[in-house]
Amino acid sequence: GGKDSAVLLRLAEKAFRPGGFPFPLMHIDTGHNFPEVIAFRNRRAAELGERLIVRSVEDSIKRGSVRLRSETDSRNAAQSVTLLEAIGEFGFDAAIGGARRDEEKARAKERVFSFRDEFGQWDPRNQRPELWNLYNARVHAGEHVRVFPISNWTELDVWQYIGRETIDLPPIYYAHRRPVVRRRGLLVPVTPLTPPRAGETVEELSVRFRTVGDVSCTCPVASSAASVEQIVAETIDATLTERGATRMDDQTSEASMERRKREGYF
Full domain range(s) for residue 198: 169-251
If asked whether residues 139 and 209 sit together in one domain, one would say no
If asked whether residues 97 and 189 sit together in one domain, one would say no
Is the pLDDT at 39 greater than 90, yes or no? yes
Higher pLDDT among residues 33 and 251, named by residue: 33
Higher pLDDT among residues 254 and 149, named by residue: 149
For 196-208, write each residue's pLDDT tens digit.
999 999 999 999 9
Is the pLDDT at 233 greater than 70, yes or no? yes
State residue 247's pLDDT score: 57
Mean pLDDT, range 182-209, rounded to an integer: 95
Q: Is residue 159 part of a domain?
A: no
Peptide bond before 170: cis, by omega within 30 degrees of 0?
no
CB-CB contact of 183 with 217 (8 Å): no
State residue 76's pLDDT score: 83
- Nearest CA to 240 among 206, 261, 204, 210? 210
For 89-119, write each residue's pLDDT tens digit.
999 999 999 999 988 888 888 899 999 999 9
Q: What percent of the chain has pLDDT over 90?
A: 73
Q: Which segments of the chain are extended strands (E)?
A: 25-29, 52-56, 94-96, 113-116, 144-147, 176-183, 186-189, 203-208, 221-222
Residue length of the chain: 266
State residue 255's pLDDT score: 53
If asked whether residues 119 and 179 sit together in one domain, one would say no
If asked whether residues 186 and 145 sit together in one domain, one would say no
State residue 78's pLDDT score: 87
Mean pLDDT of the chain: 90
Q: At what angle do helices 228-237 and 155-165 cross, to 10 degrees?
A: 160
Please name the residues in contact with 81: beta carbons below 8 A apart, sequence gap of 6 or more: 57, 60, 65, 66, 264
If asked whether residues 148 and 188 sit together in one domain, one would say no
State residue 113's pLDDT score: 96
State residue 75's pLDDT score: 83
Q: Is residue 181 part of a domain?
A: yes
Q: How far is CA 242 from CA 86, 204, 209, in A?
A: 28, 21, 9
| Count of domains forming the chain | 2
If asked whether residues 106 and 174 sit together in one domain, one would say no
